[in-house]
Amino acid sequence: MIKSKYNKNYYILNKKKINDKNNLWYKNCDQEKRRKHYQNWYIKNREKVLEKQKNKSKSKIKDLSLKSRYGISLNDFNRLLKKQNSKCKICRLKEVAKATQNKIKSLSIDHNHTTGKIRGLLCQNCNAGIGLFKENINLLKKVINYLEKTK
């Protein structure tokens, strides 16, 4: 962490010098030498590069999806997740539903289908329950009455 901060600060302070040096190297090297240089660098750093691309792609896709579906960014989603302590807004439990590769799914964004307003993050069970009752408050009250009478 400290090394990357140092490198970033160094780059900011010496940007022109570094860019000039890189441009000079690029001009003076023939294409084959450059290709071999990048090829060797990639071989040494392949795992790191692939992991970074994979993470960047996943987060970028999720960010775009959230923006188009709900009008929020991935940062907004993460803030909401932190605010709810990574727990469902209704049952207050962490998500247990599994997605592909046996990974736990993220909480679902619960929103009003008429206004589009986001109400919170819900686990799959609570979200499905609301959906199955079509967000109908009167129907949900009847379910509560039924459950209370049949204890």
Partner residues linked to 104 by β-bridges: 98
Q: Which residues form the domain of 101?
A: 85-151
pLDDT at position 41, please? 85
Residue 109 backbone dihedrals phi, psi, to 5 degrees = -85, 115
Longest Cα separation, the chain: 85
- Among 131, 54, 59, 47, smallest CA distance to 90 is for 131
Q: Is residue 76 part of a domain?
A: no
pLDDT computed for residue 82 by the predictor: 95
**Which CATH number characterizes residue 93's domain?**
3.40.1800.10
State residue 3's pLDDT score.
58
Say which DSSP state 105 is in. Answer: P
Both 89 and 149 in a single domain? yes
pLDDT at residue 146, as a whole number: 95
Query: What number of other Cβ atoms are within 10 A of residue 24's Cβ?
Result: 10
| Block mean pLDDT (10 aa), the chain, length 151 | 67 85 79 82 85 78 87 94 95 86 87 88 93 92 93 81
Asked if residue 78 belongs to a domain, the reply is no
Residue 89 is classified by DSSP as T
Q: What is the pTM of this model?
A: 0.60
105 plus 56 within the same structural domain: no
- Report the length, in residues, of the chain: 151
Count of domains in the chain?
2
User: What pLDDT does residue 1 have?
Assistant: 39
Question: Please, which residues bridge with residue 121 across strands?
Answer: 109
79 within domain boundaries: no
Q: Last residue of a domain, which of 71, 96, 126?
A: 71
